[in-house]
Amino acid sequence: MSSVVAFGLQWGDEGKGKVIDLLSRDADVVVRYQGGANAGHTIVVGDEKIVLHLVPSGMLHPRTTCIVGNGVVVDPAVLVAEVEELRRLGHMKDERQLKVSAFAHLIMPYHKRMDMLREAAASGKKIGTTGRGIGPAYEDKASRSGIRVIDLLDKKVFSEKVRENLKVKNFLIKRYYKGEPLKIRDVIKEYTSYRKLLKKYVADTPAVIQESIRKKKKILFEGAQGTYLDIDHGTYPYVTSSNTVAGNAAGGSGVGPSSVGYVLGVSKAYTTRVGEGPFPTELHGPECELIRQRGGEFGATTGRPRRCGWFDAVIAQRAVALNGVHGLAIMKLDVLDAFETIPVCVGYRAGKKVTSQPPLTLKGWASVEPVYEELPGWKRNTNGISRFEELPVNAQKYVRRLEELAGVPVDIISTGPERDHTIVLRNPFDLKG
């Protein structure tokens, strides 16, 4: 396939960074198409651990062009810090490797202030936001009052937009939330310092991608968060503020849907979630802590401990159908090495009925109980295995059962954090179509 979308099937944190880094070896262009700095992709290369929030994970491959698409909300402070860190570590030696969409919207200081004040005022109805200003930035985008990257390059336009927006934002911050208002000159001064750096990377990214398609280059579209954090299809309101599904790879990048050839859904061999919201297979106690410690289940962006639970085939089946998935990447299989038996959720019980469909309401999510199928564990070390036939028989059976439940083949299996701790059954870029 000449174009591949890699995205999360669960509630984010599935291990997309490693998969994207792996596939980037074959990609000419990697495009991040939605989200902001609330998403962290962790990549381990030898003794080096790199967490990227905005720069596409393909940046670790010097021949790859990396694009921050129009569907992303960009925090310039984070982008500057990431560029500097990548350079310090010996990456991104060619500045032409990074391109930022002129149409991407900026996260402003008042977005972060509003985000934190709103969450603090939410009392018992907290969403679990990271406080990075993502939601308020997308709100301004939808209300047509947002500031785009291209606006920052015009001093007059940028200053006028900041002044206009702060009239409303400061009113809310001061009068409603009883917070400290922002000073116009401070905001303008801070963002003026980012202008010089961003100017190097701003581009008409849809044109760049479309030209790459015409030249038959290999393109990887990189998603952030996961399917069930999608603003339309997730466990609303406990979701992010953008469309995380594979279908948004086109809109968030500026290409037609026919440009997407293969869809790879990334899922852990179990399930995790950060923040509030429904989670039917969530564990509490020793089993949860064992998964958390073995899997290093702490947020790449916030450091918050992740909620952990067993694999949920109900949400996997819906996500596969919703995104038109062609194949799966199953991550962190080795984390389950310690378990004698491994339950897999194959349905939800609601009263006397068992269903294979996710609920439509929060009340419905709260009332369902997972129906488990017990699978035998393998109690052997799988860390670092790179050939499927070398996995313990029960580990092979576990993978094949997940494949049956999801209804699509497993193409990639991760058995550890390192690049070579991976079993590649099918490389999406090698498939014909």
Q: Which residues are bridge partners to 272 per DSSP?
A: 308
Confidence of residue 134 (pLDDT cuts 50, 70, 90): very high
pLDDT tens per residue across span 296-311? 998 766 678 999 999 9
Residue 126's pLDDT is 59
Among 140, 186, 137, CA closest to 34: 137
Catalytic residue among 21, 26, 28, 41: 41
Question: pTM for the complete prediction?
Answer: 0.92
94 is catalytic: no
pLDDT tens per residue across span 259-270? 888 999 999 999
Lowest mean pLDDT segment, chosen from 52-56, 79-83, 249-253, 307-311:
52-56
Lowest mean pLDDT segment, chosen from 272-276, 301-305, 306-310, 412-416:
301-305
Residue 60's pLDDT is 84
Confidence of residue 45 (pLDDT cuts 50, 70, 90): low
Residue 338's pLDDT is 96
Confidence of residue 109 (pLDDT cuts 50, 70, 90): very high
41 is catalytic: yes
Catalytic residue among 13, 21, 140, 411: 13
Domains of the chain: 3-99+202-262 (3.40.440.10), 105-198 (1.10.300.10), 268-430 (3.90.170.10)
HSE of 100, CA atoms in CB hemisphere, 13 A? 27
pLDDT of 121 strictly over 80: no
- To the nearest whole percent, how much of the chain has pLDDT over 90? 78
Residue 125's pLDDT is 62
